[in-house]
A and B are shown apart, each in its own frame.
Chain A
Amino acid sequence: MPLLRLALASLANRRFTAALTAFAIAVSVCLLLAVERVRTEARASFASTISGTDLVIGARSGSINLLLYSVFRIGNATNNIRWSSYEHYAQDPRVKWAIPISLGDSHRGYRVMGTDHNYFEHYHYGHSQALELAQGRPFASDPFEVVLGAEVAQALHYKLGDQLVLAHGVATISLVKHDDKPFTVVGILKRTGTPVDRTLHISLAGMEAIHVDWHNGMPARGAERISADQARAMDLTPQAITAMLVGLNSRVTTFALQREINEYLDEPLLAILPGVALQELWSLMGTAEQALFVVSLFVVLTGLIGMLTAILTSLNERRREMAILRSVGARPWQIAVLLIAEAGALALTGIVAGVALLYAGIAAAQGFVQASYGLYLPLALPSAYEWSLLGLVFAAAVLIGAIPAWRAYRQSLADGLTVHL
């Protein structure tokens, strides 16, 4: 099509402005897609973190708070639940399995979780996938054994048999270390793409042992200290845990049991359905997500307005070009098409460059984002929704291109063949 060739040649003649215009569109398109992709992947990764768990039970607080600290290792528990409460519900005939969770310590920024063998048997993520060991075995009877999440092992270069020391609390600086009771790595889990990867798993007995000589949040001094070997000989049944995950024999009993737990008289407890709490979380985050999305849409609009400005500014200098085209037979509507083709070409270049920028960005930041936020951004082809966003940007650009096209149409009707200005 000769018109398209003419439009491209004319653009090439103004390549610096054209490149800048296309670049502005590229950056805005990249931002739009990045926001969209992070949003989608964040949802997917949150939703796939827990599966098969019917109830999460913890101390009475907010349901989102309980979900965040028990499953996502975000934030802290407000209170513990008593061991007796755990035993009460773990032995309930309607309960198929129960996983105790005890949190509060960390190792070089990664959370430590005390639990028991049920965790390796019953915890499921994604589409009902069970945890699998890449190397070694689950922790056994010795309290000072630790099983690492895949990312912990990879980032800190631990292998089976290594010894490590846990720190009290979850802050990143000036922590008191449990350095009198080192742990031995006995197992490393396969990667799951969930917070499990960023967790160190120890037994409840281990969790109890490192705190056995602590009083009022401080380690004991001098003669009161209890060595690792002494601890091994003690009864290490915990007094309290942070939360528990429960699987039921029959889904039908979920609501009845939830209600019963929430009305438990011995201790104020809270039982939540993870799916429901996730929904609450989405509705909470929905506003922020939408705000981000709207902002990125406006950035795209800004890029397109930049294009409009560039084309409109060029129109006056190009009256001669239009008149010459008219004199060799171009009709006013062909001049208009020329300008729309120009806008389309700029937008298409911008979109292609924007997608390239996005993939370059993902390739560069993938590792960092996964390590820092536990979010895996795949280098996948654009989804149907992303294609439709790109199509929308292109359509908007062509629509905006109609403005200079209309002006050029009027202008070339008025100017006719008058070349001299």
Chain B
Amino acid sequence: MATALIELHDLGFAWPGQPELLDLPALRLEAGESLFLRGPSGSGKTTLLGLLGGVQLPRRGQVRLLGQDLAALRQGARDRFRVDHTGYIFQQFNLLPFLSVKDNVRLPCRFSPLRLARAQQRHGSLDQAADSLLAHLGLPKTLYDRRADALSIGQQQRVAAARALIGQPELVIADEPTSALDSDAREAFLRLLFEECQAAGSGLLFVSHDQSLAPLFDRAESLLDLNRAARPSEA
């Protein structure tokens, strides 16, 4: 059996002096799999993402990414591990507004030699890798050298997807990336994201409160059900 992308065991987390926020007996994501994780506010979603990124460490239990226990790595190594193997797409305003579209896409390769090497191996050069991803995601070539904040929200999210996918990280984590898009654009964006994840061989962890998207994924889970410490949504 291949190593799972994400493997959580008996995970517990609490901020100092506060009651336990997260109590996850188990969660697993296989390589290349797409998982929809329903996570309304108050379900411990932000904390889970922090733990998966190695920004916080669990109080008990284990977070394994590609079989690697994050707690066993030092802070710097965790940061390196994150960028080497994980691409992120956030809700909105994902991009550095003062950089060009292309520079934004290339950003992870500036911090991860591994992803740079993979991008060069697959596309010949970093430039071509960025161009090819942007073209696949349907962004007109005229926009590549524009400042990121000159683009529409929908276009910006596609640039963010290209940035998450460059250098073929094993895992893409998307946190409500479609919440700022209307429903037509939402589906179109998801389809592109699936295609590109498949092409890159990346697994996808998609966190959203929008249940209607769930059927599009290989598997769906609800963080509210998984997390035994979850309080009912305050919203």
Contact = CB atoms under 8 A, between A and B. Distances in A.
Contact of A330 (B55, B94, B111): B111
Contacts of A420: 90-91
Given A417-B50, A420-B91, A331 B79 contact: yes
B38 interface: no
Nearest to A15: B98
Interface stretch (B6-14, B80-88, B136-144): B80-88
B132 interface: no
B50 A328 contact: no
Given A2-B110, A12-B98, A417-B88, A326 B55 contact: yes
B42 to A, nearest CB: 15
A324 B94 contact: yes
Given A329-B79, A329-B80, A419 B94 contact: yes
B112 to A, nearest CB: 5
B111 A13 contact: no
Chain B interface size, as a band, is 20 to 34
B90 A327 contact: yes
A134 to B, nearest CB: 61
B55 A328 contact: no
A327 B93 contact: no
- Of B46, B83, B98, most A-chain CB atoms within 10 Å: B98
Nearest to A324: B96
B69 to A, nearest CB: 19
Contacts of A6: 96, 99
Given A320-B93, A418-B50, A328 B88 contact: yes
Contacts of B90: 324, 327, 417, 419-420
B53 A416 contact: yes
B160 to A, nearest CB: 9
A321 interface: yes
Nearest to A320: B93
A80 interface: no
A417 B207 CA distance: 15
B97 interface: yes
Chain A interface size, as a band, is 20 to 34
Contact of B98 (A13, A328, A417): A13
A9 interface: yes
Interface string A307-339: 000000000000011001111111111100000
Interface in A2-26: 2, 6, 9-10, 12-13
Interface string B41-66: 00000100110010110000000000
Interface in A402-421: 416-420
Interface string B65-109: 000000000011001101110001011011111110001000110
A159 B112 CA distance: 78
Nearest to B76: A331
A320 B79 CA distance: 18
B55 A417 contact: yes
B163 interface: yes
Nearest to B149: A13
A327 B103 CA distance: 15
- Of A9, A12, A13, A324, most B-chain CB atoms within 10 Å: A324
Contact of B91 (A9, A331, A332, A419): A419
Contact of A9 (B76, B79, B99): B99
12 contacts: A10-B96, A10-B98, A324-B90, A327-B53, A328-B163, A329-B79, A329-B82, A329-B84, A329-B112, A331-B75, A331-B80, A420-B91
Interface of B: 46, 49-50, 53, 55-56, 75-76, 79-80, 82-84, 88, 90-91, 93-99, 103, 107-108, 110-112, 163
